[in-house]
Amino acid sequence: MKLVTALVMLAACGGDSGGSDASATDPDAGAIVGGSCSAVPADESGDGTYYAADGAGNCSFDASPNDLLVAAMNHPDYGDAVWCGACVNITGPKGSVTVRIVDQCPECLKGSLDLSPQAFDMIADHAAGRAPITWHEVACGVSGPIGYYFKAGGMQYYQAIQIRNARYPVAKLEVMRAGAYIELTRADYNFFISPSGGLGNGPYAFRVTDQRGHMLEDTGIALGSDVTRAGASQFDACP
């Protein structure tokens, strides 16, 4: 079941990379719209294993040597990168740990997670190599606004944009064109791709929706290449 479906029924925190340019965004242009905190994500269950995680992977985040509490999502749940950047709390035989989803585990069965060794050792004995786990999605402990990371090589005719530093996993990115928002297509490597012909030279007006339906609106976001443009706000935290 994809995360968007699970959270509709029941109710990332990606790291930063490249240059950061808060001045490219009008600090008064952000708006927070809608959303719901009325439902609680349910536990999933499966097996926990570990691999040589470095924070990079299928979600296209940078390696994070100073933050290795990360995990790879099983292939059936990964979908089209809907879990990328999400934070999940995992409970195993020895305890619990909160990790960021940064990769995909193609061979993992539904409900299973492949953890960094550092995370696995907090919930099970390292020598076991595999342990039963339960887990559910939680808010990421981020600070500051979301960021719009423009993939290297971006130009007026082509943009690939990733949302970073989000409290909750992102469901949708839209851009204003001719007075109306259009939705960008999400690739399974966790970038939203501009339509044929690109979006022009910018600046852009974006609307970002998280999996709970909260929306952020930003204007004045400048085009870039291998750079993160700061938004003006962050998704509301649910109690």
pLDDT tens for 92-124 read 999 999 999 999 999 999 999 999 999 999 999
pLDDT at 54 over 70: yes
- Do residues 54 and 22 both lie within one domain? no
Q: Which residues pair with 45 in a beta bridge?
A: 134
| Pair 126, 157 in one domain | no
Please check whether residue 3 lies inside any domain of the structure.
no
Choice between 217 and 33, residue whose per-residue pLDDT is larger: 217
The Cα angle at residue 135 between residues 131 and 136, in degrees rounded to 5: 170
Neighbours of 168 (CB within 10 A): 29
Rounded to whole angstroms, the Cα distance separating 18 from 134 reads 35
Residue 24 · residue 230 · CB < 8 Å = yes
At 42 the pLDDT is: 74
More confident residue, 163 or 8: 163
pLDDT in tens, 139-186: 999 999 999 999 998 788 899 999 999 999 999 999 999 999 999 999
The answer to whether the CB of 92 falls within 8 A of the CB of 133 is: yes
Q: What is the pLDDT of residue 154?
A: 79
Question: Among 115, 138, 161, where does a domain finish?
Answer: 138
Do 132 and 184 share a domain, yes or no?
no
DSSP reduced 3-state for 161: strand
Question: Which runs of E-coded beta strand occur in 113-159?
Answer: 113-115, 131-138, 147-150
209 conformational bin, left if phi > 0, alpha if psi -120 to 50, beta if neither: beta
Q: Do the domain assignments include residue 238? A: no
Show which of 138, 159, 183 is a domain's final residue: 138
Q: Is residue 66 part of a domain?
A: yes
Report pLDDT for 182: 95
Binned at pLDDT 50, 70 and 90, residue 127 comes out as very high
Per-residue model confidence (pLDDT) at position 20: 43
Residue 75 pLDDT more than 90? yes
pLDDT at 1 over 70: no
54 and 31 within one domain:
no
Rounded Cα gap, residues 86 and 12, in angstroms: 4
Instruction: Please check whether residue 116 is in contact with residue 100, taking contact to mean a CB–CB distance below 8 angstroms.
Output: no
Indicate whether 149 and 133 sit together in one domain.
no
Residue 74 lies in a domain: yes
Last residue of a domain, one of 95, 115, 138: 138
**Position 168: which residue type?**
Y
Chain center to CA of 192: 12
Domain span at 107: 44-138
Q: What count of residues does the chain have? A: 239
pLDDT of residue 135: 97
Of 140, 150, 158, 142, whose CA–CA distance to 21 is shortest? 150
pLDDT at residue 18 greater than cutoff 70 = no
Spatial CB neighbours of 27, under 8 Å, sequence gap ≥ 6: 232
Instruction: Check whether 33 has a pLDDT greater than 90.
Output: no
Q: Is residue 2 part of a domain?
A: no
Statement: residue 19 has pLDDT above 60: no
* pLDDT for res 191: 97
Over residues 197-238, the pLDDT tens digits come to: 889 999 999 999 998 889 999 999 999 999 999 999 999 888
Half-sphere exposure of 134 (CA within 13 A, CB side): 5
Backbone φ and ψ for 60, nearest 5 degrees, come out as: 65, 25
Other Cβ atoms less than 10 A from the Cβ of 134: the count is 16
More confident residue, 124 or 34: 124
Neighbours of 144 (CB within 10 A): 13
Domain count, the chain: 2
CA angle 57, 59, 63 (to 5 degrees): 45
